[in-house]
Structure 1
Amino acid sequence: MKKILILITAVIIASCSDNLENLNKNIKDPSSVPGESLFTNAQKSLVDQIVTPNVNNNNTKLWAQYLQETTYLNESNYNQIGRKIPDNHWSVLYKNVLKDLDESSKIISATTYPLQTDKDTKANKLQVIEILTVYTYSILVETFGNIPYNDALDIDNLLPVYDDGETVYKDLINRLSTTIDALDTSKGSFGAADNIYGGNVSSWKKFAASLKLRMGILLSDTDNSFAKTAVEQAVTSGVFTSRADNANFKYLSASPNVNPIHDNLVLSGRNDFVAAATIIKMMNLLNDPRRPLYFKITPTTGTYVGGNIGEASDFNTHSHVSDYVEAAATPGVILDYAEVEFLLAEAAARNFAVGGSVKSHYDTAIIESIESWGGTNADAITYLAQPTVDYDTVITNSTASTPWKEAIGNQKWIALFNRGLEAYTSIRLLDYPTLAIPADPVSGFPYRYLYPSAEQTLNGTNWTTASTAIGGDLPETKLFWDLN
């Protein structure tokens, strides 16, 4: 009888112990996060960083001279250090994006899915992660130069070595080629967890090819043969052919999932930005039909007025961005059809075999830009007919050493409005448009982001080696692909 009582007591104690342990579990903080959730978080962190005008994170809309600050002028005058902007850019892309993508890939790879539909999408999910990984690394190379790559995501390695930027960039292009071939368009991928394409694999394949086109063009001056092969392969794989292909991240109308521009320009209650004089002057000169689509007129003058670069600009007497630009649910664009057509125009100008003439791609790019922003085809045709816009006339009248760079560079820059990072890259590659010198610059034009200050103190030896290799950790140091 005693044995029975002891056994019953032991069972009760064990049962109570299990119940207590279950009560101590925080069900709102799961020990294992699904790979799909990590992918969604990484995707949003990536697009937020690309889109935001927040001066603590991304100054490229100021450097591309689309916007001008009203009161706090450090960033317009090329000060990268005051707010640790390079540190924040680096941290978001490595920690919030690449690390989450890496963990997402590991978890999905290790997951045994019970449903056949999930089994069928597993391989494509891993390839989509790879595409966004390549995209993210490409931004890091384009903004810093040499970066940690092979050692980057090893959490046990606190002193990652920096890899040569050109070597990394070419490897990224090769990774894209492998991914394009591996995608299975007969099956799905992330579905609703993907806020860009909703899991559509055909769209991701076009995006990968278009990204390869963009990256190949960037290498045209430094390794024309490699660039030519990459660009022609990309076109063969199938790049964007309409705005339906655009890579638009879907924001919502309610915080915290609104477009970061709305967050910074509306929800903040601050009046920190107005239109920059550089873009307003060019659009006024060209009688550009996109002016009311990009900006608002100033009520006091009934005209479009931009703030002088690097100078305090009264919020009430200068143009603001349009309602559409600052709306909560305006999509975050990371690659679009108009840009692809400009890239094809550049490729044709370099005599790459992409089909079509420079002018045909140039015209298509401008028409697409105007129409996608809400202008009409008639607006676009009238605009193109102007001698200051017509490709052949601009080339004939140009005094530039490479006339096509001036023609494409100016129009591509206008079309890339509100996309600071890509405009910043285009300006450095094509050397157009001619930008204004800020009122009180702390450096020359920033051809690159400085390495984070944390790298100098915590990874000093590798930082020193990388800085020496690129020609100095200076804003004026041109990166390997920026030769002219």
Structure 2
Amino acid sequence: MTNTKYIKWNFPAKVLRIALMAVVLLSSCDKGFEEMNKNPNAFTEPVVTSLFSYNLIKTAGDGDGNTLYPNDKLAGAMMQLFASLNPYQWTGDKYLAKAGYSDALFGTAYGVELKENSQIISLTKDNPDQVNLYNIAQIWRVYILHRVTDMYGDVPYSEAGLGYVSGVYKPKYDKQSDIYPAMLKQLETSALALDATKQSYGTADYIYNGTTSKWKTFAYSLMLRLGMRLTKVDPALAETWVKKAIAGGVMQSNADVARLNHTDGTELNFYWDGRELRGGEGVPPSAKGTGYGKMAQTFVSHLKNTADPRLPFYITLWPGNADPAQLPASTIAANQKGLPNGYDYTSIKTVIPGWTDEMLAEYSEINLNTIGSNSTPSVFINYNEVELYLAEASLRGWGTGDAKTHYENAVRASMEIETIYPGGSSISASAISAYLTANPYTGGSFDVQMKQIHTQFWVSQFMNNMEIYANWRRTGYPVLTSTNYPGNQTGGQIPRRLPYPQSEASLNADNYKAAVAIQGPDLWTTRIWWDKQ
């Protein structure tokens, strides 16, 4: 007789045993397939050194987002280095609003520059053998974010970039009064933590080739820049950090300059500022001298009046020369003319009678074969900038040496570094001496010396225009006469900041509103914390 009870209960047990065996076999097969499906040539996690290379390149330039728009069309035009008759393209010339321009640096910094940087910091923070990778990335993070806070004021800092590693997609805005001490402390901490006996980035570091001592010098030089930024709002704090920077060791020569070399012809590594300036919005060769972005009368007149030997490396007339080392006729100082700021194609006729648009070719433009070449290096901090800060530190009684010596060191460094530009032959020692003789450091009152130091800053930092703009807001030099074009955003005053991107008011509304409530109206005229009136 068949045992139906056994059949009823034993059959499912047999099925269960078979099923379990199948699961084991299938899981074993899955493991094998997983191994088979792995690409032995692919990386399972980001390679930190490659991330750092990419991070440097993107900070140097990511299209026009952190180059042409904020650096040239806004800061460069507001500082009367560039001028334009086109009110829709070079809006900084006339203090006009164009969201695509004023939003660009904010979007590029948080959307591009911090992406790899945050990953590097996350991947290396707990590995003592990667202390240099971690701290160099932290130093670079400060570099990225100091540009953002200097242009906008209160911005995301403590939670910046965490969307990529922690899912923080609506970062809070930190007060600039908190950001600056945090940046300075981070530079100090990271500089002290660098260890020459540990792994570094090596050849993946396109600035210093992984040399930790150079990065330490960079950190203290950036500390000097940021410390000086505080002279109006908190002189005592400024003095503390300036003295720390000098004691730590700042740049001593052009060999210390933080620069990333570029190669013409490759989109991944050409000088984006030069690339964009020779495009349709700048001074394309196809325009034959009638492009939108010309050199400003204020800047050109200063170069001519001081017989500045840097002039042919900075500016030229159309047509330029493929070999600027020959100093062609197009770069002769006497022939240069600058365009006045604040005019359009119609109103320019009120100051230049008989004006026709073809006359634009008679006005100077940036030299696209030297400082504006596709292969011009990106310079993040210059030795001559450091020497000018040291001149001011001496003037304030915060540093060693005398202001005159540091000033002259800065001039020499600025003129000698022209050799790094494509076709840039060196300015002779005799030409440098002649310039210093004709334009001597005069001494005098504090204000007189500050004017001389920081007018030189304006000239020597050309194409580091965002830094010129920050330094002008701090010092008031050079002395510039503002324009008052119809419909401008400031009532005819040079802007004090850029407004936040419009998207922040909707996508990060609560934090945006909190920032505006603390800092003040989201206007071009609202002063940021360190720009104390």
TM-score interval, normalised by the smaller of the two chains: 0.7 to 0.9
Answering whether residue 215 of structure 2 is matched by residue 204 of structure 1, we say: yes
Aligned pairs for 1:284-363 within 5 A = 284-297=304-317, 303-312=335-344, 315-322=360-367, 323-352=369-398, 354-363=399-408
Q: Which moved more, 1:428-437 or 1:209-218?
A: 428-437
**Shift in alpha-carbon separation, 1:331–1:57, aligned structure 2, 3 A:** closer
**3-state SS of paired residue (2:135):** helix
Answering whether residue 476 of structure 2 is matched by residue 426 of structure 1, we say: no
For 2:118, which of 102, 106, 116 is the aligned residue?
102
Unaligned runs of 5+ in 2: 1-21, 320-328, 345-356, 419-425
Residue in structure 1 matched with residue 139 of structure 2 by the alignment:
131
Q: How far apart, in 2, do the equivalents of 1:198 and 1:242 lie?
A: 17
Preserved contact between residue 99 and residue 501 of structure 2 (Cα < 8 Å): no
By how many angstroms is 1:338 displaced?
A: 0.3
Residue in structure 1 matched with residue 499 of structure 2 by the alignment:
450
Preserved contact between residue 57 and residue 89 of structure 1 (Cα < 8 Å): no
Residue in structure 2 matched with residue 190 of structure 1 by the alignment:
201
Answering whether residue 392 of structure 2 is matched by residue 366 of structure 1, we say: no
Answering whether residue 148 of structure 2 is matched by residue 148 of structure 1, we say: no
By how many angstroms is 1:201 displaced?
A: 0.8
Unaligned runs of 5+ in 1: 1-8, 112-118
Q: How far apart, in 2, do the equivalents of 1:293 and 1:132 lie?
A: 29
By how many angstroms is 1:148 displaced?
A: 1.6
Q: How far apart, in 2, do the equivalents of 1:65 and 1:23 lie?
A: 62
Preserved contact between residue 209 and residue 235 of structure 1 (Cα < 8 Å): yes
For 2:300, which of 265, 280, 294 is the aligned residue?
280
CA deviations 1:312-348 (Å, max 9, x no partner) are: 5755222122211122221100101100000101111
Residue in structure 2 matched with residue 115 of structure 1 by the alignment:
none
1:202 partner letter: S
For 2:103, which of 87, 92, 96 is the aligned residue?
87
Preserved contact between residue 83 and residue 90 of structure 2 (Cα < 8 Å): no
Residue in structure 2 matched with residue 5 of structure 1 by the alignment:
none
**Shift in alpha-carbon separation, 1:146–1:52, aligned structure 2, 3 A:** closer
Preserved contact between residue 76 and residue 309 of structure 1 (Cα < 8 Å): no
Preserved contact between residue 99 and residue 502 of structure 2 (Cα < 8 Å): no
1:382 partner letter: A
**3-state SS of paired residue (1:84):** helix
Answering whether residue 477 of structure 2 is matched by residue 466 of structure 1, we say: no
For 1:385, which of 437, 440, 445 is the aligned residue?
437
By how many angstroms is 1:30 displaced?
A: 5.5
By how many angstroms is 1:95 displaced?
A: 2.4
Q: How far apart, in 2, do the equivalents of 1:12 and 1:315 lie?
A: 79
Q: How far apart, in 1, do the equivalents of 2:69 and 2:294 lie?
A: 14
**Shift in alpha-carbon separation, 1:51–1:92, aligned structure 2, 3 A:** closer
Preserved contact between residue 188 and residue 200 of structure 1 (Cα < 8 Å): no
Residue in structure 2 matched with residue 262 of structure 1 by the alignment:
274
Preserved contact between residue 162 and residue 463 of structure 1 (Cα < 8 Å): yes
**3-state SS of paired residue (2:196):** coil
2:156 partner letter: P
Q: How far apart, in 1, do the equivalents of 2:80 and 2:122 lie?
A: 41
2:310 partner letter: R
By how many angstroms is 1:413 displaced?
A: 0.5
By how many angstroms is 1:200 displaced?
A: 1.0
Q: How far apart, in 2, do the equivalents of 1:184 and 1:278 lie?
A: 47
2:441 partner letter: Y
2:505 partner letter: Q
Q: How far apart, in 2, do the equivalents of 1:238 and 1:281 lie?
A: 37
By how many angstroms is 1:83 displaced?
A: 4.1
CA deviations 1:438-466 (Å, max 9, x no partner) are: 46233231211111111111222322221
CA deviations 1:267-319 (Å, max 9, x no partner) are: 66564422221210111111111111111145699611122213357552221
**3-state SS of paired residue (1:392):** coil
Answering whether residue 82 of structure 2 is matched by residue 67 of structure 1, we say: yes
Q: Which moved more, 1:76-85 or 1:60-69?
A: 76-85
Preserved contact between residue 90 and residue 293 of structure 2 (Cα < 8 Å): no
By how many angstroms is 1:109 displaced?
A: 4.2
Preserved contact between residue 73 and residue 311 of structure 1 (Cα < 8 Å): no
By how many angstroms is 1:88 displaced?
A: 2.1
Residue in structure 1 matched with residue 233 of structure 2 by the alignment:
222
Larger radius of gyration: 2
By how many angstroms is 1:420 displaced?
A: 0.9
**Shift in alpha-carbon separation, 1:403–1:318, aligned structure 2, 3 A:** same
Answering whether residue 77 of structure 2 is matched by residue 45 of structure 1, we say: no
In the superposition, the TM-score normalised over structure 2's length comes to 0.79
Preserved contact between residue 271 and residue 378 of structure 2 (Cα < 8 Å): yes
Preserved contact between residue 78 and residue 95 of structure 2 (Cα < 8 Å): no
CA deviations 1:230-289 (Å, max 9, x no partner) are: 111111111000000000012112221111133213366564422221210111111111
Answering whether residue 495 of structure 2 is matched by residue 482 of structure 1, we say: no
Answering whether residue 290 of structure 2 is matched by residue 249 of structure 1, we say: no
Preserved contact between residue 51 and residue 261 of structure 1 (Cα < 8 Å): no
**Shift in alpha-carbon separation, 1:414–1:454, aligned structure 2, 3 A:** same
Preserved contact between residue 197 and residue 247 of structure 1 (Cα < 8 Å): yes
Give the superposed CA RMSD. Answer: 3.1
Q: How far apart, in 2, do the equivalents of 1:452 and 1:412 lie?
A: 30
Q: How far apart, in 2, do the equivalents of 1:168 and 1:14 lie?
A: 52
**Shift in alpha-carbon separation, 1:79–1:22, aligned structure 2, 3 A:** farther
1:63 partner letter: M
**Shift in alpha-carbon separation, 1:458–1:209, aligned structure 2, 3 A:** same
CA deviations 1:65-100 (Å, max 9, x no partner) are: 222235444513455642422322112112212232
Preserved contact between residue 55 and residue 75 of structure 1 (Cα < 8 Å): no
Answering whether residue 242 of structure 2 is matched by residue 231 of structure 1, we say: yes
